Structures are given as C-alpha cells and as structure tokens.
C-alpha cells in the first residue's frame, strides 16, 4: 500500500506538515508552497498537479469543488475534510488515515477525518 501524499490547506498549521513528515509521510502546506491566501480552486489545482490529496476545514467550498470536478470528469487525488478540532486531534486522525488508506483509495473521493478517530 502506498500512503497518500497530502497537501494541507491554509487553515492547517505548517507545524502539522513538519510533524507528519517526521513520521515519514510526504506532506506539503499552503504556506510552504507559497500559495497562502490563494482561492480554494487554486489550492486544489496545486494538490492535483502534485498528485496530493488536500486536507481542509473549508467543507462547503471543497464539497462544491469535488462536484465540479466530477461533473467535468476531472480527477483529483482526494479531499479530506474536518471540522475545526485541535491540531493534536487533526495530527492523530491524519496519521491513522495515512496508515489505513492508500493513495489509490482516496482518488476522486471525499473522506472525513472523524472517520479515523
């Protein structure tokens, strides 16, 4: 199983990216990529260009982008959504996701971090 590569949207701390990389995972963040404050469609396009699933608290916008991608028959590498919870909770749930779901399984899917409690 190949774990997914992730891109953390701007509302997630870049410290989270560092912590996840320290655990051996391929993670980028909007801050590190220089796309802070770019619109959500640009964030998703960046993730897609690098074959990364995107992680975000911005539920409504990314659900809409998912539907746009489906209707245009465009592929993305996964959208992982979460309600706002402490970063320690996001870290542990993301670790569980990374060790239980393959990159292929996430392709064109929306998943919720609370599935990985």
* Cα–Cα dist 97/116, whole Å: 6
User: What's the gap between Cα 108 and its chain centre?
Assistant: 12
- Quote the pTM value: 0.94
Its domain, for residue 70, covers 5-116
CATH number of the domain encompassing residue 101: 3.40.50
Give the ranges where 11-114 is alpha helix by DSSP (H): 14-22, 30-33, 40-49, 59-71, 87-100, 103-106
Query: Which pLDDT belongs to residue 51?
Result: 97
| Residue 8: HSE in the Cβ half-sphere, 13 Å Cα cutoff | 23
Give me the tens of pLDDT residue by residue for the chain, a chain 117 residues long: 799 999 999 989 889 999 999 999 999 999 999 998 899 999 999 999 999 999 999 999 999 999 999 999 999 999 999 999 999 999 999 999 999 999 999 999 999 999 999
* Cα–Cα dist 101/73, whole Å: 23
* Cα–Cα dist 73/27, whole Å: 26
User: What's the gap between Cα 105 and its chain centre?
Assistant: 14
Number of domains in the chain: 1
């Amino acid at each position: 199983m190949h774990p997914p590569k992730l891109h953390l949207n701007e509302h997630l701390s870049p410290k989270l990216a560092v912590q996840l990389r320290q655990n051996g995972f391929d993670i980028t963040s909007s801050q590190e990529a220089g796309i802070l404050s770019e619109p959500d469609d640009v964030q998703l396009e960046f993730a897609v260009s690098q074959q990364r699933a995107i992680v975000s608290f911005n539920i409504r916008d990314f659900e809409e982008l998912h539907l746009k991608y489906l209707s245009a028959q465009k592929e993305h590498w996964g959208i992982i959504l979460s309600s706002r919870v402490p970063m320690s909770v996001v870290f542990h749930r993301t670790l569980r996701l990374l060790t239980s779901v393959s990159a292929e399984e996430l392709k064109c899917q929306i998943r919720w971090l609370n599935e990985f409690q």
